[in-house]
Amino acid sequence: MHNCSVNPKGQFSEFRASIRRILMDKWDPIGVKDVPQAADEYDNYIDGVDVLLRHGASDKELSEHLIRIETQRMGLSDGSGEPLLPSALRDAAIRELQALGEKLAPSSSPQSRKGFRHWKLFSKHLSPAFAKTQERRQRGLCIACGYSPCQCSKPKRKTP
């Protein structure tokens, strides 16, 4: 079984499906692209390629990643540790992966993971009451009564 993310309907996202297709059709270090039962053979490697593309990896970084998979995870190397797959096949796959990566919207390529943990990114999913409280805070009003100065009996709830 593969460990890549699927959408709620159990299907790959279009982007990840494209990575899967490129790995199978262009890279295919074990030569199984014509075997229907092996359609998910490279699914364990989609996550790593996805992350690299979303972070704008160079051709060299992608090449090193694929070589590491070939030689260390699959054991497809010669006696000196060099990959068995001809570099032309790997380079063709990298060109297609980079072209796919260029199609990503700039907003889908986060510069840091820290921003994704921030509550403001999820504000469109908040309750109306929370949105009302946020609006009052921004306007400098008491979050309980909605007036400035506070007219309620809970002055501690006033924003500074």
pLDDT digits 0-9 by tens, 130-151: 777 778 888 888 877 888 888 7
Query: Whole-angstrom Cα distance, residue 88 to residue 98?
Result: 15
pTM > 0.75? no
Query: Whole-angstrom Cα distance, residue 48 to residue 54?
Result: 10
Query: Whole-angstrom Cα distance, residue 77 to residue 148?
Result: 73
pLDDT digits 0-9 by tens, 86-143: 999 999 999 999 999 888 755 444 444 444 444 444 444 556 777 777 788 888 888 7
Dig out the tokens for 109 from the structure. 């390529």
